[in-house]
Chain A
């Protein structure tokens, strides 16, 4: 019994050190986000009063356009993905038709094309279409990438659902469209949620594409926008860290309330890889 306790104590102490080391930059960020520059230098390692919440007001002014654009891009990318992926996945999972395997292989093959290696030709295409420096140019690649990923994971999920559920509906005279809308979509909610979260994570982590395709400041999504914001606020430590906090909040909220789906989204790479 005491040996278990000793193991717990040693492991707990070591894990506390690791957890603290990993969280330290974020703790420092939150504490320093409410200091003015004088407090930043005077009490570098400790919290300081009074709190300067006006740092957040200053940061909000600059970061809120990036947040807004990120929400718009993520929202429309999710809408576009969900308009295409579930129906296609349903067809691949539940119908037999000539060319099914070939067509599916064509889609799955795209998982092996990293977005960065197609960045140059995709940029030229968007230039030829005349949609550089718009929100649309940011949305389209997310729809493409998540439709591919979505079809692959949703097909697997939909294929393993028991046929009896759908058989009963068909006997009652429901057509394919009704079976899809009334039975498949509600059943596929977990995997739809995972794909939606993957989309949000993609928007919040895609750095090069918005950096290169967009010049208008308000069209920047968080990654490129925040890097720009950091260059605009050199040595303004309080507002700088407040801006980082504001940019992080949406993902932190998602992580808090949907941690299971969030982690599934992060591990999506593995799911899609195999």
Chain B
């Protein structure tokens, strides 16, 4: 009796269930990820013999001015993303919570996040139209109010292209930060607000002393996600500027893709991909470690 029970516990079925999943992941997740790292040490010529070159690709990267310029650009994008792109969503979340009627809150919350219902690519293409030098909304508006002199070629001018890219989606309320801020505020127990009111705390005081501390954990998480997503930034730049004009909007992802698909330097592209992965991993691990420490 006991022996049959033990035999039934031998979990062959369990491994059989997992087998297809791991076969798929081995072929299309683990293998390419590892293969990319390995071939970052090769002059990779898919379909032909690829000579081993050691760390040559990494040395090339150290001297690649475009690559470092692309990090300057995502640095700027990152600072913008965690300041301006948080302030308005935070303000909107506070305003929604200031409404006294549950129905009004629901209506405004829905209207504010409605742009999330549209594909990201549509958002970018619509903003491309907004910036159109001749027919776009921004220049048409400037001309309509008599400010013709201010009308510009927003994404065609190296001085404004990066700002134009970062302004896509203004006022950025239809975003993850807004959803996070709003649910954090909704989770503040009503008793705390009542106690604050009894103590005579005003709206601003309440924001600094209650709301912000209560949101701190979520803000940390958003911060990490912002680092990770800025390392992967690329779709907007590719549609609008292709990294131009004059490399003013060059970003690491576009540099990596150009290395492979324009210069056909597959080994070098694998190197850049590996470095991007290592940076993402480092950020995730540091965040994880800090999270553990905070919990302990």
Residues on A facing B (Cβ under 8 Å): 4, 7-8, 11-12, 14-15, 18-19, 21-26, 28-29, 40-41, 44-45, 83-85, 87-88, 90-91, 95, 97-98, 103, 107, 110, 112-114, 116-125, 127-128, 140-141, 143-144, 147-148, 151, 176, 204-205, 207-208, 211-212, 222-223, 226-227, 230, 235, 237, 240, 244, 247-248, 251-252, 254-256, 259, 262-263, 266-267, 269-270, 273-274
* Binding stretch for chain A, among B58-66, B148-156, B274-282: B274-282
A11 touches B95 (CB 8 A): yes
B83 to chain A, nearest CB (A): 17
Contact of B99 among A11, A112, A143, A252 (CB under 8 A): A11
**A116 nearest in chain B by CB position:** B232
16 A/B residue pairs, CB under 8 Å, sorted by A: A8-B101, A12-B108, A18-B88, A18-B112, A21-B170, A84-B20, A95-B11, A113-B277, A118-B29, A120-B256, A121-B33, A124-B46, A144-B29, A263-B116, A267-B180, A273-B221
Across the interface, which residues of B come within 8 angstroms of A98, CB to CB? Answer: 11
Chain B interface residue count, CB cutoff 8 Å, equals 92
* B135 at the A interface (CB under 8 A): yes
Complex partner residue of A230 from B44, B128, B253, CB under 8 angstroms: B128
Check A262 against B117 for contact (C-beta < 8 Å). Answer: yes
A251 to B285, CA, bound (A): 34
Binary per-residue interface labels of chain B (20-44) against chain A in the complex, 1 for a CB within 8 Å, 0 otherwise: 1110110011111101100100001
Contact of B130 among A25, A144, A240, A244 (CB under 8 A): A25
* Dominant secondary structure at the B interface: helix
Chain A CB within 8 A of B79 CB = no
* Chain B residues within 8 Å of A40, by CB: 135
Least Cβ distance of A6 to chain B in Å? 11
- Check A120/B269 contact, CB under 8 A, given A18-B112, A204-B119, A251-B119: yes
Neighbour of B280 across the interface among A44, A84, A117, CB < 8 A: A117
Q: Is the CB of B235 within 8 A of A112?
A: no
Which stretch from B68-76, B171-179, B186-194, B204-212 is at the chain A interface?
Answer: B171-179
In Å, the complex CA distance between A116 and B257 comes to: 10
Q: Which of B11, B129, B273, B277 lies in contact with A97, CB distance below 8 A?
A: B11
Smallest CB-CB separation from B117: which chain A residue? Answer: A255
Chain A residues, CB < 8 A from B176: 266-267, 269-270
Contacts of B118 in A (CB 8 A): 26, 248, 251-252
CB distance from B181 to the nearest CB of A (A): 13
**B277 contacts A244, C-beta separation under 8 Å:** no
Q: Knowing A28-B137, A122-B32, A208-B235, say if A15 contacts B273 (CB, 8 Å).
A: no
Task: Enumerate chain A residues within 8 angstroms of B238, measured Cβ to Cβ.
Answer: 207-208, 211
Q: Are A128 and B14 in contact (CB under 8 A)?
A: no
List 4 tightest A-B contacts by C-beta distance, closest first. A255-B117, A121-B36, A117-B277, A97-B11
Pairwise interchain contact A255-B116, C-beta atoms closer than 8 A? yes
Distance (whole angstroms) from the CB of B1 to the closest CB of chain A: 17
Cα–Cα distance between A154 and B125 once the two chains are bound (Å)? 35
Complex: A233 Cα to B91 Cα, angstroms: 39
In the bound complex, do residue A226 and residue B121 qualify as a contact, i.e. CB atoms below 8 Å apart? yes
Chain A's interface: helix, strand, loop or mixed, by majority? helix
Which listed residue, B25, B31, B256, touches A147 by the CB 8 Å rule?
B25
Q: Does any Cβ of A come within 8 Å of B161's Cβ? A: no
Q: How far is the CB of B29 from chain A (nearest CB, A)?
A: 5
Residues of A within 8 A of B171 (CB): 18, 21-22
Write the chain B residue with the least CB distance to A150: B21
Q: Could you mark each residue 257-274 of chain B with 1 if its beta carbon is under 8 Å from any beta carbon of chain A, else 0?
A: 100110000100110011
Cβ–Cβ < 8 Å partners of A85 in chain B? 21
Determine if B122 is an interface residue (Cβ-Cβ < 8 Å).
yes
With a 10 A CB-CB cut-off, give which of B28, B116, B224 has the most chain A CB atoms: B28
Chain A hits for B36, CB < 8 A: 117-118, 120-121
Q: Given A14-B95, A97-B14, A270 and B221 touching (CB < 8 A)?
A: yes
Closest to B96 in A: A15
Distance (Å) between the CB of A114 and the closest chain B CB? 5
A176 to B31: give the CA distance in the assembly, Å.
Answer: 32
Q: Whose C-beta in chain A lies nearest to the C-beta of B278?
A: A117
Closest B residue, CB atoms, query A100: B14
A252 cross-chain contacts in B, Cβ below 8 A? 117-118
B289 contacts A by Cβ under 8 Å: no
B111 at the A/B interface (Cβ < 8 Å)?
Answer: yes
A18 adjacent to B92 (CB under 8 Å): yes
| Cα(A7)–Cα(B39), bound, Å | 61
Count chain A CB atoms within 10 A of each CB in B14, B22, B273 and give the residue with the most. B14
- A175 — nearest CB in chain B belongs to which residue? B13
Q: Is the CB of A26 within 8 A of B35?
A: no
Residues of A within 8 A of B274 (CB): 117
- Which residues on A sit within 8 Å (CB–CB) of B20? 83-84
Q: Does B286 contact A (CB under 8 A)?
A: no
Bound together, the chains give a CA A137 to CA B135 distance in angstroms of: 38
Residues of chain B contacted by A87 (CB below 8 angstroms): 17
Residues of B within 8 A of A4 (CB): 100
Which B residues touch A240, using CB under 8 A?
129
Is the CB of B284 closer than 8 A to any CB of chain A? yes
Q: What does the 1/0 interface line of B105-128 toward A look like (CB < 8 Å)?
A: 000101111111111111101111
